[in-house]
Amino acid sequence: MKRTSALLAAPALALGALALAAGPAQAQGTSSDTGSWTYQTQLKQLNNSTASGSVWITVNGNQATVTENVTGLPASFNGQAYPHVQHIHIGAMGMCPDASADKNGDGVVSVTEGAPHYGKIAQTLTTSGDFSPASATDLKLAPSGGTINYKRTITLSDETLAALKANTASIVVHGLDPATLSPAAQKAKSDIVPSLPLAATSPALCGELRASQMGAMPNGAPETGVKSAAQTTSTDATPGVLAAAGGVLVAGAAAFGLNRRRTARKAQD
């Protein structure tokens, strides 16, 4: 049996990229903006993901503290946690797609089909290090596991600040359990990288960020850092950056591969 760390290696599982055209130009914010705002969203299930959660973003100037609580995502396989890359998206309608965005009728809103609604990547929600679009698919930095309690302060770009103020920013979490898809969709190939399954690159959760009527995150939010259920760190697992570019929109296919292997084993037992 191959080591799970090998399945996470970047050379074997590069997902490729999808360049997304930005939507109508928004009024640009500046890094010298002052004041404090709070934005929030209840994350909506996409593609029968069975997941749920909420995100709060408190902005002071160009510094944003992002707090996220998510449950119900595909968790861990063979001792490795499923990495769920996730981003703040801007440059389109600032909306989450619904089932009507499924243009080919396969029961899944793919990356390509959802992009006109939520737009391109502006910031990557990583656990440490870089939080720009360049880390969009770095599995090593992605929050992982079936339950994610995330809190991190990042620096927002002027473009992201403008989108938040214009109510055209969204959060998207990627990575599906193929068992939640129809038989046809389970067999389908990714719309971005045909060598990968459709579930590997499709969004699981989406939320539209809007100005909050409350001044602070409710009690019960994580105090610091990132805690992911069923997360295991392997010293020789080096996912690395699978693809990097502004406007990249992909998901963690490495863990998807682990899911398929484990599901197959259970079926044989």
In a domain? residue 60: yes
Question: What six digits make up the tokens of 140?
Answer: 């090593």
Report yes or no: 75 and 230 within 8 Å, Cβ to Cβ: yes
In a domain? residue 118: yes
Q: What is the DSSP string of 199-258?
A: GGTSEEEEEE-EE-SSSSPPTT---SSEEETT----TT----BS---TT-----HHHHHH
Q: What is the pLDDT at residue 215?
A: 54
In a domain? residue 104: yes
In a domain? residue 237: no
Q: What is the pLDDT at residue 12?
A: 28
| Mean pLDDT score across all residues of the chain | 73
The more confident residue out of 138 and 20 is: 138
In a domain? residue 25: no
Q: What is the DSSP string of 8-27?
A: T-HHHH----------SPPP
Of residues 188, 189, 172, 192, the one with CA closest to residue 15: 192
Structural domain for 94, as ranges: 34-218+242-268
Distance CA 44, CA 173 (A): 10
pLDDT by residue (tens digit) across 98-128? 999 999 888 999 888 999 999 999 999 999 9
Q: What is the pLDDT at residue 239?
A: 32
How many domains does the chain contain in total?
1
CATH of the domain at 204: 2.60.40.200
The more confident residue out of 10 and 94 is: 94
Distance CA 125, CA 150 (A): 9
pLDDT of 210 strictly over 60:
yes
Q: What is the pLDDT at residue 224?
A: 38
pLDDT of 214 strictly over 80:
no
pTM summary value:
0.71
pLDDT by residue (tens digit) across 61-76? 999 999 999 999 999 7
Q: Among 15-19, 32-36, 110-114, which is the least confidently predicted range?
A: 15-19
**What is the torsion angle, in degrees rounded to the nearest 10, for the CA atoms of residue 225, residue 228, residue 230 and residue 235?**
-50
In a domain? residue 190: yes
The more confident residue out of 168 and 35 is: 168
In a domain? residue 171: yes
In a domain? residue 56: yes
Average pLDDT over residues 219-243: 37
